Structures are given as structure tokens and as C-alpha cells.
A and B are shown apart, each in its own frame.
Chain A
Amino acid sequence: MREQSDQTGFRLMVRRICRRLTVVQTVLTLFGLLVLALFSQLLPGYEPWWLSFFLTLFVCLVILVLMRYGRVVWRDLVRFRCAVTAGSISALPLHRKWSLTSPPGWMAEQARHCLVGYGYRVRLIYRQGGILLSAMRGGANRCGFFLAHGGLVLLCLGLLLDSRLLTQIAPAAGRLDGVVQLQTDVKSDQVQLVAGAGEQFVLPFQLELQQISLVGGLRRMQEQYRTRMLLHDVQRNHTVQLTVGTNQPVSYRGFDFYQQAVSDAGTILHIRVWPLFHARMAALKQTAAVYAERHYQTSRGPILIRFNDFNPKTIVTEQDASTGLRVYRNLGPRLDFNAAMPDGQQLNYIMYMLPFAQQGRYFFLSGVRDETSELFHYLHIPADPEGEITRFLRFHAALNDQVLLNEVVRNTVGRSGESAARESMIQNLLKMIELFNHAGFSAVEQELANYTTPEKLPGLVALTTKLLRNVFYQIYEKVVQEEERATAGAGSSFDIRFFEDALTATAGLGRFGLPLFIQLDDFEYKPAVQLQVKKKPGKYWFFSGALLILLGVSAMLYSRHRRVWLWFDNGYEKGMVLCGGMGGRHKVEFAEEFSVLVQHLESAMQP
């Protein structure tokens, strides 16, 4: 007796919970999701303990709903409700009565055909007093209940499978999030886990980089790489070729591989090193490698260069002057290196190997910075008509050629006047040229300030600048003539612009600091690819659940469950046909449908 009362108490409790379930569900949903929204920002990772708790609770609640209402909904889906009587049909708000004009069996058959044509499932029951026709349509609505709630359970289970909970219970079966590095001719199976300091996971197969390629046109950014790799599965005794790209992950034995980053694994660089601040224009040809170091004896002392990184392609955006649209340009290979100066200073350099267009002119860009956290200060070296750096280097070498300078300066100063004063002027000009070569016009101005009063300084600076520019231009003309383009001379607008840009670049060389210019002839690219390795055991549970919810909710919203009964009486109310129907919550829509349906039924049952 006591046991029975306990059972009743439990049932009452369950019923009470279910009655309040909408409220409970709503509060939990709002609370849980609000916390999710907040904590997704504050905590690393999305699976704190309370999320697992919340999900478990949610699964239990949905299972409870399925247990409580599932039976009712299932009954609604499969049962025809054949216990209705003529009285209950006439009690329905929507009903119609006709006289029996033909044998009830024949009329019931006609009605059945008509209703089947409307998509109803029909059952005929022959009773003592007549024939009952029970029909129903819109089972999808009731199926939607199971799909949506079952989907919700699947979805939450998927999340639980992918949560930290399963990883802690069964690490081998749980979630995995790490990075694997691939290189050519090296087999890798070590995955560096993202969470956990330095922890590693060993894959049950080995990966080997076969090829890496940059896909798409210039629009494609640097990350748009495609990696072709070989997968050696010793356990299954086979090797497969897989290709991973941005937006194109691949899966193998439950592991997903995503393209993450490409770095350098020691690319071989065939370079030419041009000495700067030197009259001799002779390049040193040599082979270097990324991560390798090279020592150089320069005009400023010994310098140690360490190559940090290499990129075979550099994409930048420019604004097109005519259309205003952004266009993409490839600046070619890019070298990144550190230089240890004779005074102990460490500078970081970046050099682009193809010229970059700026205001209709082309420049070779080289950047320098003290710290890697700073922005680069760029040196713009003008490109010659061939798109090469040669003319600038020749001009620069000529500016450091003392014999040539002497000759040009003497010609400029002329032979008239007192010889001592003329010689002093020549020496002063040569000194100013040296100053300019190392620190630009500002250094010349500073030097001149020592010789005159502030009032006379602007005049002296203007005169000296004019003289210097005259000397430089004569040297420049010689350089251009040596290019065997004497017919064009140095008078074309391009040459004049080049001269101005070359002077600006020369003035900036001092601040640039490096007495070398490195030119890349060729390279043997050796990339290393980082692939993101993921294992998400709950992924397909989650997406199956989400799809089922979508289907279920759509079915519940856009399909209506309705029932129709017809009673062909041959008992006490002989000669009557009763028809009634109900459309659940969609009363208005069903009323319209019912009126059309009874018209068709009436005409179908006419003899």
C-alpha cells in the first residue's frame, strides 16, 4: 500500500515537473546561453565544467519530455481513434449531416477513395449500427515532435562527446586538438597538443610532405596554400595521397587535417651581395640558407647576417588611380634577416625582390627596424627602365669613386680665380659629397652651420645644394651614357625622375645602416607545413541532431495534423451520414479546408 502511494507520489511529481517544463526549459535556456555568451569570452575554451552539467541536464529534460509526451504523440500518430460514436461526431464544432442516398457500404467506399485522394490515411470499421470511417492526415507534424526532440538529444550528446568530459574519462576516444609539422623526406606522427604545455600525441600513422603550392591568382592571400602529402598507415599496410587546402580539410580514420601555416625549413638561397659606399661595383656571389649565418667584411666593419625567413611570393594591395578599386600585386620573393652591426646593434631587415609601383614609378623596397615589434622604415631604391637595380648601384658606386668625383668637382668649380681659394672650395665640396653619401642633405646643412652665421646659412645651403646637385647630375649623366643610351641622354622625364629618386635613396642609405644590398638570383624552396589536427568524435552526432531539429521544427510548423470521421448510420437514425473533423490548433485553416472537403465528399457519394 505504502509502495503504491510512493509510486503515485513520484508520478505526481513527474507530472508537475512536466507541466512546468516550458518555464523551466526557458529559464535554463536563457540562463545557460547567457552564461555561454559571457564565458565564451572570459574563459579559454568553450567547455568549462558547467557546460557539461548544463548539457547533461538539458538531455535529461528532453528525455523527460519524450517520456511524458512521446506516448501521447505516438498514439496520435498511429491510432485512428475508432471509438468515436455518432454523438461525439455531432458534438464536434465542424460537422455535416447528409441523408443516405445509396447503400452505406458503397458510400463508405466512395468516401474512402475521395479522402485517399486528399492524402488521408483511412480505416473502415463495420459495426452493428453502421460503418465508421476514420481518416487522418499530417503525420509529419507528429513525426516532427520526435525528430526535433530526438535531434536535440543527439545534438547535446554530440557536444558532450566533444567536451572535455569525455577527454578526461577516455583520452584516446575523446577530443584532440593539435598541430603536426610536415617536411619533405621526413615522416612525422607527433602532434603537438594545443592545450597542455608541450604535451604530444602520437598518430597511428605517419605523414610526409610531398608538395606545397600556392593556389589561385594574385587575389589569393598568402594563406591560400595547398599541401599534398603522403599518409603511411602501417597498421592497415597502405599509403594514400591526401591534399589539404584552405577551406578544404581532409579526414582519415576520424582525424581531420586543416591547412594552418607554412613556414620555412631552410630554403637554399643563391644570392648576390653588393657592397655599398664603395667605388667598385662587384657583387659577391654565394649560397646561403634560411636560418644560416654569414659574415661580411664591409666598409663599416664586420657584419653578421642571419637569414630568418623567406617567402617566395608577397601579395600586397594597391588602389588603382583610375578606377579607385583595390588591385593585387606580387612583390616577388621576400627575404627577412637580422644584421649584427660592428657596434653591437641588432637590426631587422626585410627586402623585396621585385619592384613596387608608387605614383607611376617603380621602387625596390627594403625595410629596417630596431625591434620586431616596431614598424619598418622603408628605403625606396628606384628601378631602372629594365626594372633592375643596376643603374642605381652604378650611380651609387660613381658617387663613391674619388677619382671621378675629383674630376667632376674640378670641372664644376672651373679654372678661373685664385688657386688656393679654388682648391679649398674643391676640398669642401668633396667633403660635402662624402657627408651627403653617408647622411644626406641634412648632414651637409649641419656641417655648413659650423662655418657661417644663422642669417647667412640659408643662402649658403642653397648655393651648396645647387653645386652638389650639379655635380651629382654630371655623374648621373656619365652613368646613363655608359649604359649606351647616349641618344636618349639623361634628359628624358624618366631619367630626371630617376635622378631625383636616386638622390633621395642615397640620402636614406645612411639611416638604412646596412652597407650591403642583397639580391636574390635563385632559390630552392624548402617549406615546412603546419597542419591543424582535430578529432571531434561528436561532430556528426551534433550535425545529425541539428539537421533533425531543422526537419522536425519545419514539419511541426508547416504540416498540420487533422482528422475526419464519417459515420454511415443504418441503426436508429436510419438514412443519415455524419461527417466531422478536427484540425488541432489550426482551427481557421482547417475550417476552410473542411468546407471544401465536405463538398467533394458529397459529390463523390452521389450515385
Chain B
Amino acid sequence: MMQLPWFNQISVRIRQFVSPYQTVYGFETVHVIWVVSLSALFISILQQGVAWLTAADVALVYGLLLGLLWFGLQSGILRWFVWAVVLTAWFGLVMKDGESVWRYFLAPDAAAIWMALTILGACAMLLYRTARQEAAESLLLVGLFFVVMGFLSRWHLSWAGGVETAQIPLVAKRDILLLILGVMLGLTIYLVQRRVHHLVVIPVLLLAGFHLLWLPDTAGLPPLAQPVLQHVWLKLHVPAMVIALAVLFMAGVTGVVSLFQAESPAHETKSGDGGLHYHDAMNRLLSLGVVLLSIGLLTGMWWADLAWGDYLLPEPKLAGALALWFYYLGALHQRLQKGAGGQAQIWWLIGGLPLLVFVLFGIDVLFVGRHLFI
């Protein structure tokens, strides 16, 4: 390999500069760089012509920024991931899509195809053990990158019509599916990195394929037909519910996967290689899912009270979500009363899987209510 002394010198300088031992007013340099660069990018994005954002929207964007900053400070890999997403979004916005090469990667359908390809590749690597696990994990992370870009570009697409059509993509079934896929993919990466059985990738694989099948029919973004949807609670209630359902679904999937393990989950002990027990994973997912589901229900009912005039309506989706909440409270009660782990909890979470699918999609098919996907 050719020697490049100037390159080595610069490389050493950069490493010194971002090393954890270098500090700026007591803060690690790398953290300071992270906070400053991400904040600058965010502010730059906000200045790219999204002036019609309401005060609540701006508050949400800054809340998101704070959340991302916190995530980045927790983990190096997340820091790089978030930075890549925000930087790409910034470039996409500056290039004004249309003419640039970015449309082959960032346009909603292109991003979805890349996402499906990367997920398919990663799953094949994991299931057939054709490569090292780290390579598959990286590929899954690239898949997650395209999920986020797909979501952002759908949002950006709505700006093409100006303020009149700008909307967060949280109404169409395709967008909800994409959000679920993103959350489940993130959790899958988390579980795969902690050496949970590789079969955990199957739901993500199926969802990616399903999403791909959906593409031809859903080119444009549907308008927010009902005035009730033009509300800040849409941006709180829908993500909270969708993320909660995805998290609880992954808890159930972890339960199913744990059944494939020879040893009893109740008697596992924590291994030293950073591995996570199935019951640990299930408990963390269950806790997070229940808290998010509670937030989703609370915000949804408050929104219903503002928009529909009542917080408890004869509404099938609400009844289903309440049934789900009580079901998972029962699961939580079981855990708090009888202790974590155990076969009963696994079956409880597995039993929740059909209930989750029914509440999210089945209710729309069987009943007519006010919760309608467009």
C-alpha cells in the first residue's frame, strides 16, 4: 500500500481531536461536534422553506432534535446513523430532487426498493449464514436508513403542492406500514446485535416484501380529507400507537423465537458477550410497549374529545385498542406479580400477536368506524 504521510498525519490529528480524552469546557470533543453539527443541520433544514410549520410543529421538530441528540450521545453507531440520515435529507432538500441523481435513492418508491433489497440481502445473510453477522447487521442498518429516507421523502413530496398539501405521512396505510417496518427493523437490529436468534428477522422480511407489493397502487399522497386530521395530535397519537404496536409485536416475535431455543428461558443467565436473554428482551419490549400504548391511548382520547366531542365513543378501533391495553396490562400484572420470565409470559405475549394484527388492520375490514386509512 502506498504510504501517504500527510494523510496519516491528518488522520492522527483527527483521532486526537475526537478522542474521548479531548474535552471542550469539560465535555468530550466528539459529543460537542455531534451536538453542534446536528443542530446546525436541523436548523438549516428548517430554513429550507418549511415556513408554514405551526408553533406546535416547530416544537415537535425541536423535540425530535433533542431526542436524536440524546440517542447519539448514548451510542456511537446511532450517532453515525442519525448524522447520515440528516445529512442526506439536507442534501436531498438542497438538490431539489427532480433533476438530481438523488431521486434514484431518495424518491419514495426508489427508497422503498433499496430498503427491500438491503433487508432481503441482510436476512439472507443471517438465515443462511453466508457472511459474518456484523456485515448483515450493517446491511440491516442501511435498510433502516432507506426506511427513514422513504418516510422523509414522502413527507417532502407533500410539500410540492405548497402549504395547502403539506402533511406528515401518517394517514395512508402504506405510510403506517412503513413506520411499523422502521420501528420493527430498529428493534430487530437491537435484538440481532444482542445475539437473539436470527429467526427474529422474518417479520421484517415479510413486511418489506408486503410494502414492495403495495407500491404500484399508492403513487400520490392522499389529502387530509377530514378537518380533524389537521391537528397536532395526529403527530403525537399516531406515532405513539404505531410504535407501541410495533414494539409489542416484536415482544411477541421474541417470545416465538424463544420457543426455538432448547434451554428454558426461565433458567438462562446473562452471558458475558453482551448477549441479551429472551426474557430480558421481552420484558424491556413489553415495558416500553405498554408505556407507549398508554401514551397513544391517552393522546388519542384527548384528541377524540377535542375533535369528535367525546373521549369514549362507540368506535371499534378505540374498543380494540382498549382491549389491547387491558390485555397487556394483564401481561404486565402477571410479570410484576409473579416475576419476570417464565412460560406463561411468553405465551401471553405470543397470544397478543393476532390481537395486534386484528386491532391494526382487521378492525378496518370488519367494522365501519371513524378511524379510516386512506
Bound: A434/B338 CA distance, A: 91
Cβ distance B306 to chain A, nearest Cβ, rounded Å: 6
Residues in B whose Cβ lies below 8 Å from that of A320? 161
Q: Chain A: how many interface residues by the 8 Å CB criterion? A: 57
Q: Is the CB of A220 within 8 A of B227?
A: yes
Q: Is the CB of A550 within 8 A of B227?
A: no
Given contacts A26-B330, A323-B161, contact A553 B228 (CB under 8 A): no
Q: Is the CB of B230 within 8 A of A247?
A: yes
Interface digits, A37-58 against B, CB 8 Å rule (1 contact, 0 not)? 1001101111000000000000
Q: Is the CB of B333 within 8 A of A247?
A: no
Cβ distance A304 to chain B, nearest Cβ, rounded Å: 37
Residues in B whose Cβ lies below 8 Å from that of A549? 294
Given contacts A41-B367, A221-B227, contact A256 B309 (CB under 8 A): yes
Asked if B290 CB lies within 8 Å of chain A CBs, one says yes
Q: Is the CB of B330 within 8 A of A221?
A: no
Cβ distance A86 to chain B, nearest Cβ, rounded Å: 29
Cβ distance A249 to chain B, nearest Cβ, rounded Å: 6
Bound: A323/B301 CA distance, A: 37
CB nearest neighbor in B for A324: B220
Interface stretch, picked from A182-190, A279-287, A489-497, A535-543, is A535-543
Residues in B whose Cβ lies below 8 Å from that of A317? 223
Asked if A241 CB lies within 8 Å of chain B CBs, one says no
Asked if A265 CB lies within 8 Å of chain B CBs, one says no
Residues in B whose Cβ lies below 8 Å from that of A46? 312-314
Asked if B332 CB lies within 8 Å of chain A CBs, one says yes
Bound: A34/B224 CA distance, A: 32
Q: Is the CB of A36 within 8 A of B319?
A: yes
Q: Is the CB of A556 within 8 A of B336?
A: yes
Residues facing B in A198-232 (CB within 8 A) are: 217-221, 223-224
Given contacts A223-B227, A249-B309, contact A29 B339 (CB under 8 A): no
Given contacts A40-B314, A585-B340, contact A327 B161 (CB under 8 A): yes
Residues facing B in A293-351 (CB within 8 A) are: 317, 320, 323-328
Residues in A whose Cβ lies below 8 Å from that of B165? 219, 325-327
Cβ distance B52 to chain A, nearest Cβ, rounded Å: 10
Q: Is the CB of A22 within 8 A of B333?
A: yes
Cβ distance A337 to chain B, nearest Cβ, rounded Å: 28
Bound: A256/B319 CA distance, A: 24
Bound: A181/B326 CA distance, A: 40
Asked if B121 CB lies within 8 Å of chain A CBs, one says no
Given contacts A546-B298, A553-B291, A585-B339, contact A219 B223 (CB under 8 A): yes
Q: Is the CB of B310 within 8 A of A534?
A: yes
Given contacts A221-B225, A246-B228, A326-B223, contact A546 B297 (CB under 8 A): yes
Q: Is the CB of A550 within 8 A of B230?
A: no
Cβ distance A261 to chain B, nearest Cβ, rounded Å: 12
Which residue from A36, A328, A532 sits with its C-beta under 8 Å from B164? A328
Residues in A whose Cβ lies below 8 Å from that of B287? 557-558
Residues in B whose Cβ lies below 8 Å from that of A488? none
Q: Is the CB of A33 within 8 A of B306?
A: no
Residues in B whose Cβ lies below 8 Å from that of A550? 291, 294-295, 298
Given contacts A40-B319, A543-B302, contact A33 B220 (CB under 8 A): no
Residues in A whose Cβ lies below 8 Å from that of B306? 247-249
Asked if B203 CB lies within 8 Å of chain A CBs, one says no
Asked if A30 CB lies within 8 Å of chain B CBs, one says yes
Asked if B305 CB lies within 8 Å of chain A CBs, one says yes
Q: Chain B: how many interface residues by the 8 Å CB criterion? A: 55
Q: Is the CB of A539 within 8 A of B305?
A: yes
Residues facing B in A226-275 (CB within 8 A) are: 246-249, 256, 258
Asked if A588 CB lies within 8 Å of chain B CBs, one says yes
Residues in A whose Cβ lies below 8 Å from that of B295? 550
Bound: A32/B291 CA distance, A: 22
Residues facing B in A352-366 (CB within 8 A) are: none
Q: Is the CB of A162 within 8 A of B312?
A: yes
Asked if B337 CB lies within 8 Å of chain A CBs, one says yes
CB nearest neighbor in A for B232: A247
Bound: A325/B157 CA distance, A: 9
Which residue from B160, B270, B291, B323 sits with its C-beta under 8 Å from A37? B323
Residues facing A in B204-232 (CB within 8 A) are: 219-221, 223-228, 230-231
Bound: A302/B326 CA distance, A: 68
CB nearest neighbor in B for A223: B227
Q: Is the CB of A29 within 8 A of B314?
A: no
Interface digits, B310-330 against A, CB 8 Å rule (1 contact, 0 not)? 111111101110110011011
Q: Is the CB of A325 within 8 A of B160?
A: yes
Residues in A whose Cβ lies below 8 Å from that of B230? 220, 247
Cβ distance B325 to chain A, nearest Cβ, rounded Å: 9
Asked if A7 CB lies within 8 Å of chain B CBs, one says no
Residues in A whose Cβ lies below 8 Å from that of B330? 22, 25-26, 29-30
Residues in B whose Cβ lies below 8 Å from that of A166? none
Bound: A248/B227 CA distance, A: 11
Residue picked from B287, B316, B326, B329, most chain A C-beta under 10 Å: B326
Bound: A246/B228 CA distance, A: 7
Asked if B95 CB lies within 8 Å of chain A CBs, one says no
Q: Is the CB of B227 within 8 A of A246?
A: yes
Residues facing B in A553-585 (CB within 8 A) are: 553-554, 556-558, 585
Asked if B44 CB lies within 8 Å of chain A CBs, one says no
Bound: A112/B161 CA distance, A: 65
Cβ distance A401 to chain B, nearest Cβ, rounded Å: 46
Residues in B whose Cβ lies below 8 Å from that of A37? 316, 319-320, 322-323
Cβ distance A126 to chain B, nearest Cβ, rounded Å: 37
Residues in A whose Cβ lies below 8 Å from that of B202? none
Q: Is the CB of B312 within 8 A of A29?
A: no
Residue picked from A22, A44, A219, most chain B C-beta under 10 Å: A219
Cβ distance B351 to chain A, nearest Cβ, rounded Å: 10
Asked if A122 CB lies within 8 Å of chain B CBs, one says no
Which residue from B163, B314, B318 sits with its C-beta under 8 Å from A45? B314
Asked if A480 CB lies within 8 Å of chain B CBs, one says no
CB nearest neighbor in B for A584: B339
Residue picked from A325, A543, A588, most chain B C-beta under 10 Å: A325
Cβ distance B169 to chain A, nearest Cβ, rounded Å: 14
Residues in A whose Cβ lies below 8 Å from that of B60? none
Asked if B334 CB lies within 8 Å of chain A CBs, one says yes
Q: Is the CB of B294 within 8 A of A553?
A: yes
Interface digits, A2-22 against B, CB 8 Å rule (1 contact, 0 not)? 000000000000000000001
Q: Is the CB of A219 within 8 A of B311?
A: no
* Extra inter-chain contacts (14) besides given A26-B330, A536-B305, A549-B294, CB under 8 Å: A25-B333, A30-B327, A33-B319, A37-B320, A46-B312, A46-B313, A159-B312, A325-B220, A325-B221, A326-B161, A326-B220, A328-B223, A536-B311, A550-B298
A–B complex contacts, Cβ < 8 Å, 15 sampled: A25-B330, A29-B326, A29-B330, A30-B330, A40-B315, A43-B314, A46-B312, A159-B312, A219-B165, A246-B227, A317-B223, A325-B220, A326-B220, A542-B311, A543-B311
Which residues of chain B have a CB within 8 Å of any CB of chain A?
Answer: 160-161, 163-165, 219-221, 223-228, 230-231, 270, 287, 290-291, 294-295, 297-298, 301-302, 305-307, 309-316, 318-320, 322-323, 326-327, 329-330, 332-334, 336-340, 367
Nearest first, the 5 A-B pairs at minimum CB distance are: A33-B323, A219-B164, A37-B319, A557-B287, A29-B326
